[in-house]
Amino acid sequence: MTTMKKMFLAALMLLNASAAMADSDTAMADDGVLKPFILGSKGTGAVAEKVEAAKAALVAKGFTVVGTYSPYPNATILIVTSDDLKTNAAASEHGGFGAVQRVSVTKVKDEVQVSYTNPVYMANVYRMKDDLKSVTAKLESALGKAEEFGAKGMTAKKARKYHYMIGMEYFNEPSVLAEYGSHEEAINAVEAGLAAGKAGVTKVYRVDIPGKKETVFGVAMAGATEENKYMDDKFIMSEIDFRDIKSTAHLPYEVLVSDNKVYALYARFRIAISFPDLSMMGQNSFMNIMKAPEAIRTALQKTVSK
């Protein structure tokens, strides 16, 4: 039995206790609970038209669209940043992970859903200095707010120390993918690896954090074979994004260059923050993508290494 399997099985023994603690933590007033995503609107229409309308509304509120990603049919993700987001990233350790927000336009049967990451939730799970309430207000003004979704929810306090289960990674335990002689050398290596499409990983966006040697890249991941499907964005989402309101804005994954090191959040944290209530076992569970964390780490490491 592999070490990973042993860890997962050990974690299963603690699942009931962990779930009980989570329920206790979220059984408080709604205004104390944060959820990963916000549904702006849903209704009839075409994805392309909704994407263009969202772009215009976001730009009007001071956001810059730095990337667009369509991981599968009828789904488009806009990645946006702003002066507020970059300033907060610069003031926070490894703040580059929170330098963008993601807006998704997804067609589900006959309706199109426009959703986005919840800035306050993300600011807390990424342990950022500011809670980004002002950014949330601008996104709500641009895109609307019908409801928050994606989990039962958790308090800001719990979000700042979040991990899926005992023995699994926290925000401050990212994978170190590579180390170089300088920040510039690290950036060049990442750019070259993404341009080459090593291991099926390609560039979606790049944001440089002002005043510090830190850059965040968004990456698309496509596994072309049965062997490497566990790092594939489409495969992973087909297994875990099964509810009526889609969490498409989970994508894309990030790679962070901070000083001379290249990091990525380990998937047992990065996926879990978008799907914290996903069960460990059964249909549409983490067990179905058990190989994904190492597959993602390996693909990213191959991409950014010489």
Q: pLDDT digits over 140-165, tens only?
A: 999 999 999 999 999 999 999 999 99
For the residues 277-303, what does the mean pLDDT come to?
Answer: 95
- Listed in sequence order, the residues at least 6 apart from 192 whose beta carbon sits closer than 8 Å to its beta carbon are none
Alpha-carbon torsion angle 25, 282, 35, 172, nearest 10? 80
Number of domains in the chain: 1
Quote the pLDDT of residue 27: 32
Please say if the pLDDT value at position 18 is more than 90. no
Quote the pLDDT of residue 31: 56
Token pair of 260, please?
Answer: 């001379």
Chain-centre distance of CA 50, in angstroms? 22
Q: Tell me the pTM.
A: 0.90
Quote the pLDDT of residue 306: 85
**pLDDT tens-digit series, residues 24-49:** 333 333 458 999 999 999 999 999 99
Helix, strand, coil percentages in the chain from 3-state DSSP, rounded to 5: 45, 25, 35
- Listed in sequence order, the residues at least 6 apart from 258 whose beta carbon sits closer than 8 Å to its beta carbon are 94, 96, 213, 214
* Mean pLDDT over the full length of the chain: 91
Query: Phi then psi for 200, rounded to 5 degrees?
Result: 80, 15
Residue 153 structural domain: 3-304
pLDDT band for position 11 (50/70/90)? very low
* CB burial readout 171-201, b (16+ within 10 A) else e: beebbebbebeebeebbebbbebbeeebbbb
For the residues 76-101, what does the mean pLDDT come to?
Answer: 98
Number of Cβ within a 10 Å radius of residue 90 = 16
Choose among 279, 299, 283, 294: nearest CA to 19. Answer: 279
Alpha-carbon torsion angle 191, 127, 253, 22, nearest 10? 160
Least confident of 151-165, 187-201, 277-291: 277-291
Choose among 245, 222, 248: nearest CA to 235. Answer: 222
Please say if the pLDDT value at position 21 is more than 70. no
CA distances from 169 to 29, 56, 120 (A): 28, 38, 21
Least confident of 42-46, 239-243, 265-269, 278-282: 278-282
For residues 205 and 67, the answer to whether their CB atoms sit within 8 Å is yes
- CATH code where residue 26 lies: 3.30.310.70
For the residues 103-132, what does the mean pLDDT come to?
Answer: 98
